[in-house]
Every structure is written in structure tokens, then in C-alpha cells.
Amino acid sequence: MAFERARDIYVEEIMSRVPVVGGPDLTARDLAVLMRAMKVGSVIIIKEGCPIGIVTERDFVEKLVAEDLRPGEVRADEIMTAPLVTVSPNESVAEAGRKMARLHLRRLPVVKDNGLVGMLTENDITRLSPSLIEITREWRNINAPGEDERRQASFAGYCENCENYSYDLRQTGIASGRGSLLCAECRDIFGRDPTE
């Protein structure tokens, strides 16, 4: 059926699978060095194999710098955010995104059976967005009512002639059955009308 509901995308499909972790006894300085070395904005605090909290850049600002504390003297469990807000790997990305927006979070640890299995960040969702926009446009064009509208529809993708990416690909040679998706420049060069 042409109007079937699109399959949900699940957290486990786009999450980072190797989140950065540390113990509650690490100092804030240790955490900062770890975050810099791993180029991440947070560390999940693990105790006896279970995630118990998270230390983020925001925690450093609000609980360390603003309080004028010494990083080498403050432990992770003193500045971590707890209890931990998590997401299941089987939850849809849309629902996880709504949770992040509602709670003003930039990252969600992914937990299954009390064990940490990944991390979902705003960046993971943002990387997914351009692909979703492109798929949505193509889905709309495929399901356009009426042959005339479908013939005039623009697609995003790679031109079958010059292989450049374009947001204005159009089907050419529909009447002859030898259609090609061409960008505006190639349609101009070859003088083809998309409905020829």
C-alpha cells in the first residue's frame, strides 16, 4: 500500500555505542582530562556495573567553577547529575527527542537491563535529520496525486549525467520510457523537458 506508515527509527540505530565512563571516585580534574582526551561533553558515572549519574560540561560550570571549588579536590559523585535520566534502545528516536526537549537535555544514556549500552546525543539526532528531510521529500513526490504532478516533481539526489548533488532533479524522457533524473544544468544542456 502506497500510504503505509513509515517505520520508526529506534535509538539503538543511531546511538553512540561506546560512551565514555568513569567511577564515582574520580576527581573533577580527572574527568576534565578524560573528556578532553576523548573529545566528549560528558562522562557517565558507573558503580558496580550500573550507571548512577552523569557529569557534563554544565555540571563543571554550575557546581565547580561557579562555586569556586578546586577540581583536584572534588569527586565525581559530588558534582554528577543524579538520578540519571535514560532512554531504552528500543524507544523511537522521535520519542527520545521529545524527552530531551521536554527536560532540556542534550544527551541521554541508553540503558538496557540496568546496563549502559550507548549514548544518544543531540548530534546523533541532528545527523539523522538531513536524511529524514530528504526521505520525506522523496516520499511526498512519490505519493503525489496525479501523473502530471509526479512528472513535474523535483527530487533531491545525484544527477544521472554529471553526478553532482542537486535539490532539483527531474525525470526526463517519461513518454519514451527511458527516463533519467537530471539536474537543471543538464536539462538545459540537453534541452530536455522533464515531460517530453
Per-residue pLDDT tens for 125-137? 887 766 655 665 5
Indicate the DSSP class of residue 75: B
* Cα(13)–Cα(83) distance, integer angstroms: 25
Distance of CA 45 to the CA centre of its chain: 23
pLDDT level of residue 192 (50, 70, 90 thresholds): low
Task: Determine which helix (DSSP H) or strand (DSSP E) holds 13, and give its type and residue range.
Answer: helix 11-14
The C-alpha cell of 18 is what? 561506546
pLDDT reported for residue 42: 94
Closest CA to 124 of 89, 157, 156, 155: 89
pTM of the model: 0.62
Is the pLDDT reported for residue 84 higher than 50? Answer: yes
Residue-wise pLDDT tens digits, 128-184 = 766 655 665 566 566 555 444 444 566 677 788 888 877 777 877 644 445 677 888
Taking 80 as the threshold, does the pLDDT of residue 77 lie above it? yes
Question: For 19-68, what is each residue's pLDDT tens digit?
Answer: 999 999 999 999 999 999 999 999 999 999 899 999 999 999 999 999 99
C-alpha cell at 66: 561557579
Residue that has been written with the C-alpha cell 548530534 in this structure: 123
Domains of the chain: 11-125 (3.10.580.10), 147-196 (no CATH)
> Rounded to a whole number, what is the distance in angstroms from the first to the last CA of the chain?
29
Which residue, among 191, 149, 157, has the nearest Cα to 172 in the 3D structure?
Answer: 191
Report d(CA 138, CA 136) in Å as an integer. Answer: 5
The alpha carbons of the chain give a radius of gyration, in whole angstroms, of 25
Mean of per-residue pLDDT scores for the chain: 81
Cell of 32: 576534565
* Positive or negative torsion for Cα 161, 162, 164, 166: negative
